[in-house]
């Protein structure tokens, strides 16, 4: 077997010129232009994901700097000739003026000191001495400090090229002394084209030893590589070794990578989105029985749901998602009836679940339970789920006003919703007298009709005054006799809120519009049942401390010590309840404040 056959594909097909370095045009053009115009920097920093060409670009830059006969391309760009003795020795890794240092194993101060001693010597064979320091972020802090001065002011004809996958770990003092280039993940289309070219070359050289590879398999290999040429070529080498004769298909790639195919993912997502928990658990059990781990299953399912979400948002996104058109149509049909906010919530919930699996003692159980909960839709899916629930609450409130459960109607034809709570027994409570308002006389309706009109008035108040309407939802109608309207409230806070001047004006306008004119409004709370004093009428009606005169404030009497303490407590309670978050919660969800405690 020849030496070429023993090489791995990623080593055999490593770029030997800038024209072969694909997917990084923004970097290759800049470096070629800098060399052609003799604007060479003394230090470069190449950063980016693994397998994107950082070390290859460093070697190509060293080759073009030392090439004896550079080739001029279009637009004034230059490239290495690959014919001179320097280019051939660089490709054979025998050139003395290119020194590659692995910072992961040579990261001490002593290693940097040795390099500083050697860097003083002039190049031996070429024009430049090039130091390529790979994984430079692995250097220790002391080593970085020892390297600073040499990096800032290197000797003539010396170029440093630093490569790293984690630029954030490189000190800012080092980064500021370098010209930085960010290597991007290789686009999937470029990877597929490169893989097809490698397969065609290998099939030409070794037709009996290298199998045919289906385009679908190449597509899956490029997807598994996640933008790295080295990973893509390494996986292609593994697949072709697994199937040395015949045809390499998607099934072979799935068997090696332990990835889930499109049919399996479509089945899992279908059971998840259609609440088919039995089918979902059966499919998961089959995968676990087949040796699949929780992590790959969750990641592949999350990626599939992400594609479904993006396709639902923009059907034309199949192009940049690099999804087969037929599969894109099937995925769109699968999520056509799924609400968008729910689909967003599913993706977020699944991602958080996968994050929690790392610290779980039983990841399979946690994963199954989370998928079942998502399928049953029994949980709030984050902010999207909360917004959906608020929409449902608003829809129910509207339906309870427009089409209530009990469709009894008043004489005016208004629907009457069921009362929120049964009205308490009527007792003697201090009334609040409002300013008499002149209104045209009309026939007095029956008690049943007044109760229905009162419910309609509460519903209308909830739309126009949200805070007051939420507080007034606990009110129940008791009677309307001799110009006195009696209303019972279930807590003292509601009584205090409704007795405010602005609240009284709003209540009077709404109640008179539905119940007709009245002279006195009696608001009864729980505390009014204890120690109610005898009524002192305002011009003949109204008890002490709770009447509102037409030309002034309430009747004044000297309150007792207990009443003063209760008044202070009510004021403090009201200050808490008047805060915007509390008021907004009451306006949206209704209900009542049971107790206010100090933090």
Instruction: Give the fold, CATH level 3, of 188-257.
Output: Helicase, Ruva Protein; domain 3 (1.10.8)
Q: What is the 3-state secondary structure (H, E, C) of 302-357?
A: HHHHHHHHHHHHCHHHHHHHCCCHHHHHHHHHHCCCCCHHHHHHHHHHHHHHHHHH
- Domain spanning 432-436+444-589: CATH 3.30.300.180: yes
pLDDT of residue 442: 43
Rounded to whole angstroms, the Cα distance separating 80 from 98 reads 15
Instruction: Give the fold, CATH level 3, of 262-384.
Output: Zinc Finger, Delta Prime; domain 3 (1.20.272)
Rounded to whole angstroms, the Cα distance separating 250 from 324 reads 14
Closest CA to 189 of 238, 213, 165, 225: 225
Q: How far is CA 208 from CA 202, 205, 240, in A?
A: 10, 9, 12
Specify whether the CB–CB gap between 524 and 487 falls below 8 A.
Answer: yes
Range list of β-strands (E), 98-199? 98-102, 129-134, 158-164, 179-182
Q: Residue 338 CB: number of other CB atoms within 10 A?
A: 16
Closest CA to 374 of 354, 392, 393: 354
Q: Kindly state the DSSP code that residue 409 receives in the 8-state scheme.
A: B
Q: Residue 474 CB: number of other CB atoms within 10 A?
A: 19
pLDDT of residue 77: 87
Give the pairing type, strands 476-481 and 78-79: unpaired
Range list of β-strands (E), 467-588? 476-481, 484-488, 520-524
Alpha helices in 211-276 (DSSP H): 215-225, 229-242, 250-257, 262-273
Joined together, the tokens standing for residue 9 give: 């594909």
**Residues contacting residue 227 through CB under 8 Å, at least 6 positions apart:** 49, 51, 52, 184, 185, 186, 187, 188, 191
Phi-psi region of 186 (alpha: psi -120 to 50; beta: other; left: phi over 0): beta
Let me know how long the chain is: 599
Range list of β-strands (E), 50-128? 71-72, 78-79, 98-102
Q: Residue 242 CB: number of other CB atoms within 10 A?
A: 13
Closest CA to 501 of 568, 555, 551, 548: 548
Q: Angle at Cα 94 formed by Cα 88 and Cα 98, nearest 5°? A: 95
CA–chain centroid gap for 420, Å, is 39
Rounded to whole angstroms, the Cα distance separating 553 from 434 reads 11
User: Which CATH superfamily, name and number, covers 3-182?
Assistant: P-loop containing nucleotide triphosphate hydrolases (3.40.50.300)
pLDDT of residue 161: 95
Q: Residue 14 CB: number of other CB atoms within 10 A?
A: 20
What are 133's strand-pairing partners? 101, 162
Range list of β-strands (E), 168-238? 179-182, 212-213
482 exposure class (CB count in 10 Å sphere: 0-12, 13-18, 19+): exposed
Rounded to whole angstroms, the Cα distance separating 231 from 226 reads 8
Q: Kindly state the DSSP code that residue 519 receives in the 8-state scheme.
A: S
Rounded to whole angstroms, the Cα distance separating 86 from 126 reads 7
CA–chain centroid gap for 90, Å, is 48
Radius of gyration of the chain (CA): 40
The per-residue b/e assignment along 183-217, b for 16 or more CB within 10 angstroms, e otherwise, is: bebbebebbbebbeebbeebeeeeeeebbebbeeb
pLDDT of residue 184: 93
Joined together, the tokens standing for residue 127 give: 């024009």
CA–chain centroid gap for 213, Å, is 38
From first to last of the 599 residues of the chain, give the pLDDT tens digit: 444 445 788 888 999 999 889 989 999 999 999 999 889 999 999 999 999 999 999 999 999 999 999 888 877 788 999 899 999 999 988 899 999 999 989 889 999 999 999 998 899 888 999 999 999 999 999 999 999 989 988 888 999 999 999 999 999 999 999 999 999 999 888 999 999 999 999 888 888 888 888 888 898 899 888 889 999 999 998 888 877 667 888 888 888 888 888 899 999 999 999 889 999 999 999 999 988 889 889 999 999 999 999 999 988 888 777 788 888 889 999 998 888 888 888 898 899 888 888 888 889 999 999 899 888 876 555 555 566 667 777 777 777 655 444 444 444 444 444 444 444 444 444 444 444 444 444 444 444 578 888 888 888 888 888 778 788 887 888 888 878 888 888 887 788 888 888 888 888 888 888 888 888 888 888 877 554 433 333 333 333 334 443 333 443 445 566 666 777 777 777 777 777 777 767 766 666 677 777 66
Rounded to whole angstroms, the Cα distance separating 54 from 377 reads 47
pLDDT of residue 414: 44
Rounded to 10 degrees, the C-alpha dihedral 141/143/146/149 comes to -90
Q: Residue ranges per domain, the chain?
A: 3-182, 188-257, 262-384, 432-436+444-589
């Amino acid at each position: 077997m020849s030496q070429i056959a023993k090489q791995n594909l990623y080593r055999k097909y490593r770029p030997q010129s800038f024209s072969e370095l694909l997917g990084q045009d923004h970097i290759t053009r800049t470096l070629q232009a800098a060399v052609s115009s003799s604007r060479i920097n003394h230090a470069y920093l190449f950063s980016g994901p693994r397998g994107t060409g950082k070390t290859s670009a460093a070697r190509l830059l060293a080759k073009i700097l030392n090439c004896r006969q550079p080739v001029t391309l279009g637009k004034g760009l230059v490239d290495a000739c690959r014919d001179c003795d320097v280019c051939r020795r660089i490709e054979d890794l025998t050139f003395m003026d290119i020194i590659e240092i692995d910072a992961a194993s040579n990261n001490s101060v002593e290693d940097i000191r040795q390099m500083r001693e050697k860097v003083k010597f002039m190049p031996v064979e070429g024009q430049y001495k090039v130091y390529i320091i790979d994984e430079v972020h692995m250097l220790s802090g002391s080593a970085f400090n020892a390297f600073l001065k040499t990096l800032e002011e290197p000797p003539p004809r010396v170029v440093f090229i630093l490569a790293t996958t984690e630029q954030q770990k490189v000190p800012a003092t080092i980064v500021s002394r370098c010209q930085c280039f960010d290597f991007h993940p290789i686009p999937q289309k470029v990877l597929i084209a490169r893989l097809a070219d490698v397969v065609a070359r290998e099939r030409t050289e070794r037709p009996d030893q290298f199998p045919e590879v289906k385009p679908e398999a190449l597509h899956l290999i490029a997807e598994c590589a996640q933008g790295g040429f080295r990973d893509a070529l390494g996986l292609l080498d593994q697949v072709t070794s697994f199937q040395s004769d015949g045809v390499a298909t998607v099934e072979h790639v799935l068997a090696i990578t332990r990835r889930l195919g499109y049919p399996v993912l479509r089945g899992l997502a279908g059971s998840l989105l259609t609440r088919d928990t039995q089918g979902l658990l059966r499919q998961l059990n089959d995968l676990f029985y087949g040796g699949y781990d929780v992590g790959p299953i969750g990641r592949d399912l999350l990626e599939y749901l992400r594609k479904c979400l993006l396709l639902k948002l923009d059907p034309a996104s199949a192009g940049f998602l690099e999804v087969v058109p037929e599969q894109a149509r099937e995925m769109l049909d699968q999520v056509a009836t799924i609400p968008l906010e729910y689909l967003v919530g599913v993706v977020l919930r699944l991602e958080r679940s996968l994050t929690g699996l790392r610290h779980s003692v039983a990841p399979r159980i946690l994963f199954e339970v989370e998928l079942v909960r998502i399928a049953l839709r029994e949980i709030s899916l984050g902010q999207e789920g909360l917004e959906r629930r608020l929409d449902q609450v608003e829809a129910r409130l509207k339906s309870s006003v427009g089409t209530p459960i009990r469709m009894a109607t008043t004489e005016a034809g208004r629907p009457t919703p069921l009362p929120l709570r049964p009205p308490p027994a009527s007792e003697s409570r201090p009334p609040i007298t409002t300013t008499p308002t002149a209104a045209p006389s009309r026939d007095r309706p029956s008690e049943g009709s007044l109760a229905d009109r009162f419910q309609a008035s509460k519903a209308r108040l909830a739309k126009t005054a949200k805070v007051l309407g939420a507080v007034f939802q606990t009110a129940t109608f008791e009677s309307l006799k001799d110009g006195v309207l009696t209303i019972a409230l279930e807590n003292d806070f509601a009584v205090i809120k409704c007795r405010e001047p602005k609240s009284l004006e709003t209540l009077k306008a709404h109640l008179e519009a539905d119940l007709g004119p009245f002279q006195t409004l009696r608001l009864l709370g729980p505390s009014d049942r204890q120690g109610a004093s005898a009524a002192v009428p305002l011009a003949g009606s109204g008890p002490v401390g709770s009447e509102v005169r037409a030309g002034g404030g309430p009747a004044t009497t000297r309150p007792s010590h207990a009443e003063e303490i209760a008044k202070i407590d009510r004021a403090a309670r009201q200050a808490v309840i008047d805060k915007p978050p509390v008021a907004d919660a009451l306006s949206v969800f209704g209900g009542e404040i049971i107790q206010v405690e100090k933090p």
